[in-house]
Structure 1
Amino acid sequence: MGSRQRKYINGLGDQIVLIIRRLRCEHCRRIHHELPDILVPYKRHSRKSIEAVIAGDTALTVTADESTLGRWRSWFSEMYYHFLGCLASIATLLGNQSVKESSCLSQSALTRIWDYVGNATGWLARVVRSVANTNCWVHTRSAFPS
């Protein structure tokens, strides 16, 4: 179907341009963009930077202002229950009963997410891939006809 450019900002603050494939779904006839794991839909910075801020990883430096970091934290806290619900549904559909259910209320939001996807580097990519590939990604863009 073609391709298009997609820009993102890496951890050093450099703007990188990627060529993203555009694919048409044979079932719904819509065009979808194939995003690599280094990106989060509708975010301008790399997944690695966002992941480091959400996890509180102080070893990595992220080139973004404090208001941007605050928006990432706010975005994750708003999306947390949605992500958790999607991951629980996917685990149930796949018959994965190994996820701990007891005493999860005492765990932090991030720890509960990590119960599903692990806490190794790339955990946010695993969340994004799982949620987006099941068509459960919440769109933050709106189109208003004029």
Structure 2
Amino acid sequence: MAFSVRGAEIVPCPCCGRELRVIGSRLRKSIKPSGDIIVLNIRRLRCTYCSKIHHELPDFIVPYKRYDADSIETVVSNDSVQTIAADDCTLYRWRNWFQTISNYLIGCLISLSIRNFQVPVDILSVAPQSALQRIGHFVGDAPGWLGRVVRPITNLNLWLHTRSAFLSRNA
């Protein structure tokens, strides 16, 4: 059984800011912390101006990740995780991914705050010790913080493509 995903608000194209039109849908799987797999029917959208295709993802999905944001958030926030149905290698990769991308995410959040004239004074003076504390200044530390980080960065087309596959020179 697939759940249909449809946004309530109208989001402009992340690339050029113009109108998006629905051109179809596709199935997307997401793994919950319990290990249960949910299947989502997400809409494919095409920009009427630049013709780029985008997918409408719900807040609990992190682009290019198979597990939901709650699973990744739990692992990144805590050192000992017993409630996530994933192997130790996956947990290690999530921590490594977050450590690698955290400075970029903080930079994006600072940029968005400056753009919206909402820069916290303490961000510019003394930075807290951890990346989680710095991110917490922008989105809070309540559950769901990762979704609150992902959404604005993705909607402005600033999300980094983080797949591990690469092309060789000879390809």
- Indicate whether the TM-score tops 0.5: yes
The amino acid across from 1:67 in the alignment is C
Larger Rg: 2
Gaps in structure 1 of 5+ consecutive residues: none
99 and 37 in structure 1: CA distance in 2 versus 1, 3 angstrom threshold: farther
Deviation of 1:85 after TM superposition, in Å, equals: 0.5
Alignment correspondent of 2:48: 26
How far, CA to CA, are the matches of 1:70 and 1:27 in structure 2?
A: 41
1:64 to 63, 82, 86: 86
Larger deviation, residues 74-83 vs 93-102: 93-102
1:106-146 deviation digits (Å, cap 9, x = unpaired): 42110001101111111000110011111111112467595
Identity of counterpart residues, as a percentage?
Answer: 50
Deviation of 1:27 after TM superposition, in Å, equals: 2.8
The amino acid across from 1:128 in the alignment is V
Tell me, what secondary structure is at the counterpart of 1:62? coil
94 and 60 in structure 1: CA distance in 2 versus 1, 3 angstrom threshold: farther
Tell me, what secondary structure is at the counterpart of 1:96? coil
> Are 1:97 and 2:154 counterparts?
no
15 and 89 in structure 1: CA distance in 2 versus 1, 3 angstrom threshold: same
Tell me, what secondary structure is at the counterpart of 1:125? helix
Tell me, what secondary structure is at the counterpart of 1:42? coil
The amino acid across from 2:126 in the alignment is S
How far, CA to CA, are the matches of 1:93 and 1:54 in structure 2?
A: 28
2:107 to 85, 93, 102: 85
Tell me, what secondary structure is at the counterpart of 2:122? coil
> Are 1:5 and 2:23 counterparts?
no
Deviation of 1:59 after TM superposition, in Å, equals: 7.6
Tell me, what secondary structure is at the counterpart of 2:62? coil
Gaps in structure 2 of 5+ consecutive residues: 1-22
Number of equivalenced pairs = 145
Deviation of 1:103 after TM superposition, in Å, equals: 2.0
Alignment correspondent of 1:110: 132
1:4-33 deviation digits (Å, cap 9, x = unpaired): 000111111111110010000123211100
How far, CA to CA, are the matches of 2:106 and 2:156 in structure 1?
A: 14
Tell me, what secondary structure is at the counterpart of 1:75? helix
Alignment correspondent of 1:129: 151
The amino acid across from 1:97 in the alignment is V
How far, CA to CA, are the matches of 1:67 and 1:85 in structure 2?
A: 28
Deviation of 1:81 after TM superposition, in Å, equals: 0.9
Output the TM-score relative to the length of structure 2: 0.78
